[in-house]
Amino acid sequence: MSSIQITDLLKSYDTRNLTIATVCSHSSLQIFNGAKKEGFQTLGIAVGGVKKYYDAFPLGKPDEFFIVDNYKDINKYTDELLEKNVIIIPHGSFVEYLGPKNFLKMRLPTFGNRQVLMWESDRVMERKWLEGAGITMPKEIKDPHNIDKPVIVKYHGAKGGRGFFVAKTFQEFNRRVQKNKSFVIQEFVMGTRYYLHYFYSPIQNTGYQLRDGSLQLLSMDRRDETTIDEVQRLGSIAELEELGIHPTFVVTGNIPIVMRESLLPKVFTMGEAVVEKSLELFGGVIGSFCLETVVTEDLEFKVFEISARIVAGTNPYIAGSPYSELIQHDLSTGRRIAQELKFAIKHKKLEKILS
């Protein structure tokens, strides 16, 4: 939504009494926990009925549930949600469950800049953004006949790495590819993976400052992916492939991690460049975003993906991370989002961080 529409919607809001709302999945326990710590009301949107597992986690349970028949129908409930003064905090599953079109159409104040969706979900635009910012990405192989080292084949729209596969030769690629689906072929970058969790504030100027606003590194994780991360327990990948068993890349969890301190300056240079370029291209990636990287043996970063909202990799840090502890005690990404809203309310800048 444009900032004029947001200003209009917010006119009917009691900004002293906002409710932080999200879909009950992904990082919702963290989002509700962070919101509660900052004194907000919380609302969990769920399909079918109240989610019982929240009873097991009282500090992450929303104050109220809002039950819908189907996430895709969310726009049917706009008026009811507006009456509750909700601010939507989107996460990866939120956008997936609603569908990108419904998400973009949603007439509810939403944290972050929704314009970012087209830049991150289209691989050509994502590359234009990241390479335009001077980031190194894995090479793309346009013609599979040119495969002369390991590549990863990624299907468009595949969720959580599902169906991705590794090939080392054209023959192997040809044997395994599902030709009815569209895909990209990327160089498989050898190295160690780090998923970097940033927070960009266009309205606060403390800490690591950018031309406009400031950037934080709140945490980092490594994804746990089945079966690739454990497959070697059965034998070498080559051995298994001979038996027709191929490793897969389905995310099942997240592992906390830190990196050698000498790499941190690069982490900030990359984050800064990505934000500056986003400001130039589409008004900025606001709030949380994550660069998914591989660090090579030459200590170079290659970024294979960006997620432009809170990622599930922040979940190990509900009580703070080794990095966020150096900013403020007990600071999760969920809590940081709530703080940003509080700051914006106080300084009458809500429309700068909502869309």
Name which of 40 and 129 has its Cβ closer to ligand AMP: 129
The span from the CA of 295 to the CA of 186, in Å, is 16
Given a contact cutoff of 8 angstroms between Cβ atoms, the answer to whether 192 and 276 are in contact is no
Q: Which stretch binds ligand AMP (CB under 6 A): 40-48, 81-89, 185-193, 258-266?
A: 185-193
Phi-psi region at 204: left, alpha or beta (left = phi > 0; alpha = psi -120 to 50): beta
Q: How many of the chain's residues bind ligand AMP (CB under 6 A)?
A: 16
Q: Does 138 sit near ligand AMP (CB under 6 A)?
A: yes
In the list 186, 201, 216, 321, the residue contacting ligand AMP (rule: CB under 6 A) is 186
Name which of 186 and 333 has its Cβ closer to ligand AMP: 186
The span from the CA of 113 to the CA of 285, in Å, is 6
Q: How far is the CB of 292 from ligand AMP (least distance, A)?
A: 5
Given a contact cutoff of 8 angstroms between Cβ atoms, the answer to whether 21 and 40 are in contact is no
Q: How far is the CB of 149 from ligand AMP (least distance, A)?
A: 11
In the list 120, 172, 225, 340, the residue contacting ligand AMP (rule: CB under 6 A) is 225
Q: Which stretch binds ligand AMP (CB under 6 A): 14-22, 49-57, 186-194, 207-215?
A: 186-194
Name which of 96 and 292 has its Cβ closer to ligand AMP: 292
Name which of 193 and 246 has its Cβ closer to ligand AMP: 193
Q: Which positions ≥6 away from 72 have C-beta within 8 Å?
A: 97, 98, 99, 102
Picking from 248, 203, 200, the residue whose alpha carbon sits closest to that of residue 228 is: 248
The helix/strand count (H/E) of the chain reads as 12, 13
Q: Which stretch binds ligand AMP (CB under 6 A): 5-13, 56-64, 183-191, 340-348?
A: 183-191
Q: Does 292 sit near ligand AMP (CB under 6 A)?
A: yes
Residues between 74 and 133 with contacts to ligand AMP, criterion CB under 6 A = none
In the list 37, 68, 121, 161, the residue contacting ligand AMP (rule: CB under 6 A) is 161
Say whether 333 sits in a helix, a strand or coil.
Answer: helix
Give phi and psi for 221, each to the nearest 5. -140, 175
Question: How far does CA 193 lie from the centroid of its chain?
Answer: 16
In the list 26, 114, 223, 309, the residue contacting ligand AMP (rule: CB under 6 A) is 223
Q: How far is the CB of 228 from ligand AMP (least distance, A)?
A: 7
Given a contact cutoff of 8 angstroms between Cβ atoms, the answer to whether 54 and 44 are in contact is yes
Given a contact cutoff of 8 angstroms between Cβ atoms, the answer to whether 204 and 213 are in contact is yes
Given a contact cutoff of 8 angstroms between Cβ atoms, the answer to whether 139 and 187 are in contact is yes
Q: Which stretch binds ligand AMP (CB under 6 A): 57-65, 181-189, 213-221, 334-342?
A: 181-189
Q: Does 212 sit near ligand AMP (CB under 6 A)?
A: no
Name which of 13 and 304 has its Cβ closer to ligand AMP: 304
The span from the CA of 110 to the CA of 108, in Å, is 6
Q: How far is the CB of 154 from ligand AMP (least distance, A)?
A: 6
Q: How far is the CB of 104 from ligand AMP (least distance, A)?
A: 21
Phi-psi region at 263: left, alpha or beta (left = phi > 0; alpha = psi -120 to 50): alpha
Strand 214-227 to strand 192-201: parallel, antiparallel, or no bridges (unpaired)?
A: antiparallel
Q: How far is the CB of 218 from ligand AMP (least distance, A)?
A: 19
For 48, other C-beta atoms within 10 Å of its C-beta total: 9
The span from the CA of 83 to the CA of 297, in Å, is 54
Residues between 140 and 159 with contacts to ligand AMP, criterion CB under 6 A = 152, 154
In the list 95, 141, 189, 344, the residue contacting ligand AMP (rule: CB under 6 A) is 189
Picking from 343, 214, 348, the residue whose alpha carbon sits closest to that of residue 286 is: 214
Name which of 40 and 94 has its Cβ closer to ligand AMP: 94
Residues within the interface to ligand AMP (CB under 6 A) = 138, 152, 154, 161, 164, 186, 188-189, 193, 223, 225, 249, 292, 294, 304-305
